[in-house]
Amino acid sequence: MDAVAGTIPTVHEIADQPAPQCSEPASHRGPNFYPQAGLAPVSFREYYYPGVADEQWNDWKWQFRQRVKSLADLDRFFPMSAEQRLRMASVLHEFRLGIPPYYLSLIDPYEPQDPMRLQAVPSNDEFLNLEVGDEDPLSEDAFSPVPGIVHRYPDRCLLIATNSCALYCRYCTRKRIMEEGEAPPSRPQLEAMVGYIARTPAIRDVVISGGDPFTWSTARLEELLGMLRAVPHLEIIRIGTRVPVTLPQRVTPELCAMLEKYEPLWVNVHFNHPREVTREAAQACDRLLRSGIPLNNQSVLLRGVNDNLPTMRALLHALMRIKVRPYYLYHCDPVRGTQHLRTTVAAGLALIEGLRGHTSGLAVPTYVIDAPDGGGKVPVQPQYLQSYTAGRAMLRNFQGRVFEYDDPPAV
């Protein structure tokens, strides 16, 4: 169903695709064979991919080629009824699917509400919410002076380098562009994006996002970084990627050696659940850190995934242990097809209330809502300042105690 391959198939054409003849089908050992999936990482690799050699498993290009991309692939691992197939066909007609074997191995096959499954696998809830939400909830297109650039803030901009992802998250804000296929932009398209930055001296900071820039070849990514580093007024380059979480095999010594040449370079990663902080993900982050690249984490608050305090706290503590700084906790955007994954603002505030003062401040992310109509990120915090009048502030601490705090006398 790639757009680059021709016309988009109909729902019934998708539903009628035959299941593939697989030489190595998923095994069917009982759930008691595996450790119970709680908050610690558990691998179900032997369930989904028995007999796959480590040499293949650790090859990121093999992982990328073997992604679950079709309804037939889904049916192999998550058998469906005829009605379910038709519903999932409707979803895949609208939104892309892609799950690398590595990330699939993190999903508990015996738990339909598994947090990793909710993020990666289309569901009946997504079908029921197909027409609920917005195509472009952040109005990015309205702030795009040239294709691929979103310039909302005065001194920084977003460069959407690609539509390709290793894993297509079911809550993605940019689901609308994924139907355009995975072909990279042309050299003239990249030159137009960089050209806008070059002729806009106010831009000192660019975020390369997508899609996921780490799905590019190392040479192609270096080409873009070289073009950007040639812009004299551009100080900071940031890359937004979920690859260290979903396809950590991609973070190779070759990639890190290339990235190291373009400092100051920052990478924002995207862990949502403590079970994603695996040994492989930690090693990928460590390679980037040892190359002098600081790592910040941006999570999305998702119902059934990380919207309770024990899970969120476990995630933040796991990130701290691998030297990744919790940066943002995003409220899930009202993008089409994601209503079932969205929480209330009150739920987000309760999480921050349960973290602030109860764990290190360095582990507490900034909870933000991306305002509609391009309003940008708005930080939302519990109300610790109770009142402030006549130079006197009434402050509430994490224990609920209230304190008076006076300004110094006027000079």
**Catalytic residues, which ones?**
152-153, 156, 165, 169, 172, 174, 333, 370, 377
Residue type, 130: L
CB atoms within 10 A of CB 296: 18
Q: Which residues pair with 379 in a beta bridge?
A: 368
Q: From 284, 335, 285, 276, select the one nearest 305 (Cα to Cα).
A: 276
Q: Are strands 156-160 and 392-396 parallel, antiparallel or unpaired?
A: unpaired
* Residue whose entry in the numeric block shows the structure tokens 């991309």: 69
* Chain-centroid distance, C-alpha 148: 19
Q: From 38, 48, 36, select the one nearest 102 (Cα to Cα).
A: 48
